[in-house]
Amino acid sequence: MILVESIIGNVNEEPWVGRLKGARLDVLSLDQWQAQKNRFRLKTSEGSEVAVALDRNSHLHDGDVLSWDEASRSAIVARIVLQDVLVIHLDGLVGQAAETLARTCFELGHALGNQHWPAVVKGTTVYVPLTVDRKVMASVMKTHAFEGIHYEFAPGSEIIPYLAPHESRRLFGGADSTPHVHTPIHVHDEAPGGGGPSGLHSHSHSHTHTRTHDHGDHHH
């Protein structure tokens, strides 16, 4: 068993870019849920058992080099598969009347909370991990047809560089079928245009099953 207590580099950084040319890479594949843990055991693609025991509040990033053997020119490298992200743009609300702004943001927050979707708000953008099928999430957004709001889906790998560690954990820490507890969303950011609190708020719920269907409106 190989014990990993610290990360020695990343395949995208020097001197590892040059050092790993022609080297044998043994991949430790992680999903986005596992990647947020600092202690776990997994096997690499070549069957080596790896025990990761990082410092508290530390976690692996895609491309992290976990071990290096100079003699055999071989390394164990972490690879993280991130799901897509629903990106909701609120910039279309800027300049609208305060009443319209408050109502739209409240309705969006209610819709996300109704589906138990965790989210991260940065400026005028809301990021929501794919907790259910992409078509289901698109259907929910189309059903509500929020005025002044548009959305798209983007690869998680494109979003994560813009996130702080705690935001990354909120967005990617439980967005697969692994049983988990949804992280509460308490958003106190100013709404677009400085119109006051955005109104996005969710509740903490424990779940041990995966939702694969759309829910009707209900209240908490």
Could you list the pLDDT tens digit for every one of the 220 residues in the chain? 999 999 999 998 999 999 999 999 999 998 877 877 889 999 999 999 999 999 988 888 889 999 999 999 999 999 988 888 999 999 999 888 999 999 999 999 999 999 989 899 999 999 998 878 889 999 999 999 998 999 999 998 888 888 887 887 777 764 333 333 333 333 334 444 443 333 333 333 434 333 434 444 444 4
CA distances from 2 to 44, 97, 109 (A): 10, 60, 45
What is the C-alpha separation between 152 and 137, in angstroms, rounded?
A: 11
Q: Where are the beta strands (DSSP E) in 14-118?
A: 24-31, 39-43, 49-53, 64-69, 74-81, 85-89
Q: Quote the pLDDT of residue 57.
A: 82
The residue length of the chain stands at 220
Residue pair 191/199 in contact (Cβ under 8 Å)? The answer is yes
Helix (H, G, I), strand (E, B) or coil at 61: coil
CA dihedral for 94, 96, 98, 103, sign (positive or negative):
negative
Q: Quote the pLDDT of residue 187.
A: 38
Q: Quote the pLDDT of residue 74.
A: 96
Q: Quote the pLDDT of residue 173.
A: 64
What is the C-alpha separation between 212 and 191, in angstroms, rounded?
A: 31
Read off the tokens for 72.
């055999």
Q: Which residues contact 62 (CB under 8 A, 6 or more apart)?
A: 78, 79, 80, 82, 157
Query: Considering the entire predicted model, what is its pTM?
Result: 0.54
DSSP state of 113: H
What is the C-alpha separation between 130 and 115, in angstroms, rounded?
A: 11
What is the C-alpha separation between 160 and 162, in angstroms, rounded?
A: 5
Q: Quote the pLDDT of residue 130.
A: 85
CB burial string 151-160: b at 16+ within 10 A, e below: eeeeebeebb
What is the C-alpha separation between 209 and 160, in angstroms, rounded?
A: 26
The CATH code for residues 2-81 is 2.60.260.20
Paired strand residues for 51 = 3, 41
Residues of CATH 2.60.260.20 domain(s) within the chain?
2-81
Paired strand residues for 196 = none
Read off the tokens for 61.
């990033």
